[in-house]
Amino acid sequence: MKRRLLAAALAALPALAHAAQDPPQVRTLAGSCANCHGTAGRAVGAMPSLAGLAPAYFVEQMRQFRDGRRPATVMHQIAKGYSDDEIALLAEFFARQPK
């Protein structure tokens, strides 16, 4: 039993190491935000920038949009299309982008 747990933990390691860089899917996910929030989250004009936002703040805003707790024009719809895992990936990605 213990050995099986260890094997499972070891099997997950490459995935974790990979997530420390940019997993390929996060660039695709983040690409959907670029139209409005700018390339790599650096917005021009009145649109809020995502680059450099604290991950905890980012995740909380996405949850509030999704649950309808933060009023929005479009983000309440957009936020519904992403799972918690995807939102966590996006939060880490945008936090790493220079403002």
Minimum CB distance to ligand HEC smaller for 19 or for 68: 68
Q: How far is CA 5 from CA 10, 17, 30, 35, in A?
A: 9, 19, 34, 44
Minimum CB distance to ligand HEC smaller for 73 or for 83: 73
Binding residues among 69-98 for ligand HEC as defined by CB under 6 A:
72-75, 78, 90
Contact indicator for 59, 91 with CB cutoff of 8 Å: yes
Measured in residues, the chain has a length of 99
Write each residue from 4 to 33 as x if it is in contact with ligand HEC (CB under 6 A), else as -, in one continuous string: ----------------------------xx
Contact indicator for 54, 94 with CB cutoff of 8 Å: no
Interacting residues toward ligand HEC by CB under 6 A:
32-33, 35-37, 48, 50, 58, 61-62, 72-75, 78, 90
